[in-house]
Chains A and B, each alone.
Chain A
C-alpha cells in the first residue's frame, strides 16, 4: 500500500484520488475520496449526500476562492504540483491557513519531492504524497532542513524580528 507523509510521519494512504474528468458513476458510497474541483462544483449536492470522507483537489491554475463557503466540508484539500517548480500553491496553502482558517489536511500531490518539503510545510501543508518513484522515508529528512527561519508562516506566527 502506498504511504504518505502526514504530520511528519509515514502513514498508509487511505484516500482515493479521482483523476480529472471523473464523474459520479461508480463512485463507492463509503470510500474516502478526493475529487477534482470541477466535479465538486458540478455535483456538490450529490457529493454531500455520500457517507464516505470527502476531499477536493486543485490544479495549479485553480483558485481556492471558488470554494470558500464550503471549506469546512472538506477533510482534505489536495493541491497539485504539475512540476515542482510551479509555486502557485505555496500561496494557496498560506491563504487556507492564515486567511481562511482551514483546519483540515492540506496535501501536496503531483511532483512532490524531498527538497521542497521544508518550504511546503512552512506554508501550511501537513501531508505529502511524495512522487511514487521516490522513497518517502528518505523524503522525511527534507522536513528538517532548517531550525531557524526569518519569516512568519503557517508554522510560525511571528517573524524572527519579533522573536529575537
Chain B
C-alpha cells in the first residue's frame, strides 16, 4: 500500500498543529462554535447525542496491520473499547472527548493516518472496491488512481466550502463493489482500444432525500486528464450548485436541473481551459504511486479444491463459511476472506479493540500485513493462502468474526441510528439485531440466498436503504419511531433505487414484515433466481398484497 514520503507526512503533521490550535482557541472562547463547527467537521469531528464522534479516514479502505493496532489503541485509550466501520470504509469512534482529539490525530499521524475531510461540505474520502488488486474480475487496479485522487482532494484550496459534501468512488472491475452509480462522481477505470487506461465518468448519483442513479457524462476520459477533468466538474459545481437550501445542494440536483447533457457541456467548456495544463498527470507520477500497489511476493501455488472439499466434509461449519465468506482470488492457491462484523452480538460494523488487535495479528500471519474495510462494514484479509484457510477460520471463530453471512440477509448495512446519531429519526441497530435474530437459522438463511438488507435511521440514508434489495428507513410519526420499507434497490452494476412498499410499521413488527416479504420471494422464485431478480420480474404488488393483507 501507499507509503508517505516527507511531503505527505509534513501535511498531516501540520494539519494536526492547525487543528490543535483551532481546538485551543475554541476551548478558550476565542473561536465561536458556529465558526469552529465547519473546521472540526473537516477533521471528522461531529457533536452527537452522547459525545463527539470522530471519523478517521481510511483511504479507499486500505489499512496496514500497524495502523489497525493504533486504531485498537485509540479505541482503548480514548473510547469505550470499540470502533465502528462506516459505509464509506472509514473508522468511527463514538466516545472521544473533544479536548483529546488533537492528541488522537497526532497518534494517527505517526502511522500515516488522519481525519482530513471525513465530514463537512468538502471533498470526502475516496472509496473503492474492497477487493481491489486481488479480484479475479478486475480490469484496472483502482488503488493508484484512488491515491492520486486522495492527494488532489486533500486540502484543496478551492473546494473546501462547497455547497454540500462530495463523494468520489472508483471501480476497476467487471462487477461494481464500490456503488459508483450512487456517488457524486463515480469513476470506472477501463481499458481503451489501444490498451491505455481511461475512465467512464458518472456524475450526480446519490442517496439522501433525493436518491438518483448517476448519469454518464464522459464515455472515455484518458488517464492523463483525470485530475483536470475532476477539477472542471468541481469548479462548475462550486460555482453553480444551489446554496439556498441544503436539501437541494448536492451535485445531483444541479445535474438534474441542467440535464446531464447541459451539465456535461458546462464541464467541457471549463475543461477546455484546464486540459493539458499542469494538472495533466505524468507517467512518472503514475509509476511512482503505482509501485506501492504491486503484487506482494505471492508464492507459486495451485488451487487444491479437493483438499478443501475434504475439510468441508469433515467440518460443515467451515464449509458454510467458505461458501459465503471466501472469495476467489486472481492468483491460484490464494483466497480473499471477509471477516463478518454482522453477528447479532454486536451492532453492525462494530469491532472491539481486542478484535482489532487480533485482526492485525492475523493479517501479519496470513495476509502480508494488510487489511481492508468494505462499504458493507466488514473487514477483508485479501491475500490468504488456501491451505491456511482452515487455521484462519478457527482463529476467526474464536474472535466471533466468522459468521457465514456475507452477501446474505443478515449481513445488514446499518447506520448508527438513533442510539448515537443526533440526526436520526429512529433507532436502526435494534431493528438490525431483531432481524438478525429472526433469520439466525443458517439453513434458512442460505436458502434465501443473495440479499442486501440496508437500514438507515433517517432520510440522510447513511445506511444506503435506497439501494438495499430490501431497504428500511426510520421515520418519525408524531414523535414515535416507525419504519418504512422499500424493495428493489441495487447498488451494483445496473443500479436501481428501491420502491416504497407502503405505510410504515412499528419497530416490533419489523421481523414479521421481513419474514412475509421473504415468504413471497420463496413462494414465487424460479430456480436460481435471486431476490432482486424475482422482484424485478414480479414487481412490488405481490409483496404489498401479502404484507398489508388483513391478518387471518
A residues contacting B by CB (< 8 A) are 63, 84-88, 90-92, 94, 99, 113, 115-116, 118-120, 122-123, 145-153, 157-162, 164
Contacts and interface: CB of A to CB of B under 8 A. Distances in A.
Interface stretch (B7-15, B314-322, B426-434): B7-15
A84 B278 contact: no
A150 B5 CA distance: 13
5 contacts: A84-B35, A94-B158, A146-B14, A161-B288, A164-B288
Contacts, number: 98
B278 A88 contact: no
B361 to A, nearest CB: 34
Give the size category of B's interface with A. Answer: 35 or more
A90 B158 contact: yes
B278 A152 contact: yes
Interface string B32-68: 0001001100000000000000000000000000000
Contacts of B285: 161-162
B14 A161 contact: no
A91 B160 CA distance: 11
Given A159-B279, A161-B285, A150 B155 contact: yes
B22 interface: yes
Given A91-B235, A150-B152, A84 B158 contact: no
Nearest to A133: B32
Given A159-B278, A159-B279, A164-B5, A87 B162 contact: yes
B278 A148 contact: no
Interface string B153-187: 01111111110000000000000000000000000
B495 interface: no
B163 to A, nearest CB: 8
Given A91-B235, A157-B278, A159-B278, A149 B155 contact: yes
B413 to A, nearest CB: 30
Nearest to A118: B157
A141 B163 CA distance: 27
B151 A150 contact: yes
A86 B243 contact: yes
Given A85-B161, A157-B278, A160-B151, A151 B156 contact: yes
B157 A122 contact: yes
B11 A88 contact: no
B39 A115 contact: yes
Contacts of A159: 152, 227, 278-279
B18 interface: yes
A37 B235 CA distance: 22
Contact of B157 (A85, A123, A158, A161): A123
Contacts of B281: 161
Nearest to B243: A86
A146 B11 contact: yes
A154 B39 CA distance: 23
Contacts of A146: 11, 14-15, 18, 155
Contact of A90 (B15, B121, B148, B161): B161
Contacts of B282: 161-162
Nearest to B235: A91
Contact of B14 (A84, A91, A147): A147
Most A CB contacts (10 A, CB to CB) among B154, B160, B162, B273 go to: B160
A34 B155 CA distance: 31
A160 B157 contact: no
A68 B235 CA distance: 18
Contacts of A118: 157
A145 B18 contact: yes
- Interchain residue pairs A-B with the least CB separation, the first 4: A87-B161, A122-B157, A119-B157, A161-B285
Contacts of B238: 87-88, 90-91
B552 interface: no
Contacts of B288: 161, 164
B239 interface: yes
Contact of A87 (B5, B11, B160): B160
A48 B369 CA distance: 69
Contact of B273 (A63, A99, A149): A99
B161 A84 contact: yes
A162 B148 CA distance: 13
A148 B11 contact: yes
A161 to B, nearest CB: 4
A115 B161 contact: no
Contacts of A152: 278-279
